[in-house]
Amino acid sequence: MSTARPYRIAMLSIHTNPLAPLGMPDTGGMSVCIRELARELGRRGHGVDIFTGRTRPGNGETRHLDERVRLIHLDIGPSGQVPKEQLHSRVPRFAEALDDALAQRDTAYHLVHSHYWLSGVVAGKTRALRHLPHVISFHTTALAKRAQCAEEQAPVHRIDAEGGLVRNCDRIVAASVRECQALIKNYKADSGKIGRVPWGVAHNQFRPIDQRAARSRLGLDQTEKLVLFVGRITPVKGLAKLLAAMARLRHYPGLRLLVVGEEREISKGSSKTVGLVVGLVQKLGLSDRVTVAGRIAHEALPHWYSAADCVALPSHDETFGLVALESLACGTPVVATRVGAVETFVQDGRTGILVDDPLPGGLARALEELLTRSQGQRLSPAAIARSVAAHTWSAAAARLLDEYRSVLAHRNEQRQQCRTRQAAHPDSAHPGRVSS
């Protein structure tokens, strides 16, 4: 670590507790990203407090993830799961609770790093009140999702808020070139204000397991060709397209699609399974070809990736494409649409196939091509895993620290300029702090 002084970072994840089980409607790559980055920053001596507002009965106020990393629950009203759509109305309450918490703590934070637009709005208020630099990771934006998938709609107030955040934050941290480009195109973001921090994967957890052993552990057939889908069940993930591709591959003997991820709808504080996938599977006559496995714990996923012959990532849009990276780390090739950062870690034609054709036919052809590769054409799981060995959370944290450093250096420069101006014009009524 080149910096001598440890930073204290306030991370905000208002709409979802990053420690909650993954694969639910509001938990996924962002949760992994927050906890892995926080842990890595902690390992490097920095202090991270993650503030979340989505409490459930039994949650303690503060939980230590590591020596220097804490998860702090803030009271934002009646506990229970609040639908994300209704959380916007609780933003002032969250901002107030956060401000109280910041005032009470003996800790002076160097900056606030918000995740997702709802946290960004809260952090924007904190920036104004406490003059704390604000770094934001959007993870996804309303306009990016809508541009790629018409079924994904968002309220106008979200689009307006995202525009304001792009203009007023101190720095934007994006996970891929594509995310940077979308922010510039859709929200007129200043390219100089965006830093890129590609995500990583925990190689000690995601590593190849012998396919036979993995299948036997999961009770899966040893002779079938298995295609695996892992993700939230939501239109942007392209599962409908994958099912249509599976229908085109009906001629392929012994082919099965495993669908991992939970299909839940949260309304009025309760959640229920929706069953749209099962309905679509029946409609397409694929009941004997598709297994809907539901949500699987992250820790158990290496067995699923290793059991599969190929992982499909048919998404219309992704922040990064973490599932594809996890799959490669487990030695399983992928068929993926060109989303997120996949082009930076999938070697097209070697460790996977990148699909240009947005229609199910293109996906079906790519799956068939990959699955019919001869033994000699296939890379070993170890070689596939090696191809992504450099993609670690430690490398991601190092890049994130560079972003933090540049924000703080800029803030110091502004302060210095302000002091110089004040010294030159002592009568002018400058506030003591840099205005935000």
Q: Interface residues with ligand UDP (CB under 6 A)?
A: 22-23, 28-30, 32, 230-232, 260-261, 295-296, 298, 301, 319-320, 322-323, 326
Nearer to ligand UDP, 322 or 366 (CB): 322
Shortest CB 246 distance to ligand UDP, Å? 19
Residue pointed to by tokens 């699923």: 304
| Token pair for 338 | 């060109």
CB of 113 to ligand UDP, least distance (A): 17
- Per DSSP bridges, beta strands 171-174 and 111-115 are unpaired
Name the minimum Å distance from CB 18 to ligand UDP. 11
Nearer to ligand UDP, 388 or 407 (CB): 388
- Paired with 9 in beta bridges are 48, 111
**How many beta carbons lie within 10 A of that of residue 218, not counting itself?**
16
Nearer to ligand UDP, 175 or 397 (CB): 175
Q: Residue 151: CB partners within 8 Å, gap ≥ 6?
A: 235, 236
Q: How far is the CB of 61 from ligand UDP (least distance, A)?
A: 26
**Token match 């034609």: residue?**
349
Of residues 23 and 53, the one with the C-beta less far from ligand UDP = 23
DSSP 192-203: GGEEE------T
d(CA 232, CA 22): 9
Q: Which is nearer to ligand UDP, 311 or 384 (CB)?
A: 311
Q: Is the CB of 30 or the CB of 257 nearer to ligand UDP?
A: 30
Closest approach of ligand UDP to the CB of residue 71, in Å: 18
| Cα separation of the two ends of the chain | 29
Considering the complex, state which of residue 35 and residue 256 has its C-beta at the smaller distance from ligand UDP: 35
**Is the CB of 126 or the CB of 327 nearer to ligand UDP?**
327
User: By the 8 A CB rule, do 16 and 26 touch?
Assistant: yes
Give me the residue label for tokens 């639908």: 83
Least Å distance, CB 293 to ligand UDP, is 8
SS3 277: helix
Q: How far is the CB of 232 from ligand UDP (least distance, A)?
A: 4
Which amino acid is residue 203, in one-letter code? H
- In degrees and rounded to multiples of 5, residue 433 shows phi and psi of -110, 165
Q: How far is the CB of 234 from ligand UDP (least distance, A)?
A: 8
Instruction: Give the residue with the Cβ less far from ligand UDP, 34 or 111.
Output: 34
Do 355 and 366 touch, CB atoms closer than 8 A? yes
Nearer to ligand UDP, 126 or 392 (CB): 392
145 token code pair: 């999702």
What is the enclosing helix (H) or strand (E) of 30?
Answer: helix 29-43
Beta strands in 232-289 (DSSP E): 255-260, 264-267, 270-273
* Joined tokens for residue 428: 């002018």
d(CA 14, CA 11): 10
Least distance from ligand UDP to the Cβ atom of residue 212, Å: 22
Contact 176, 196 (CB under 8 A): yes
To the nearest whole angstrom, how small is the minimum distance from the Cβ of residue 36 to ligand UDP? 10
CA distance 204 to 102: 35
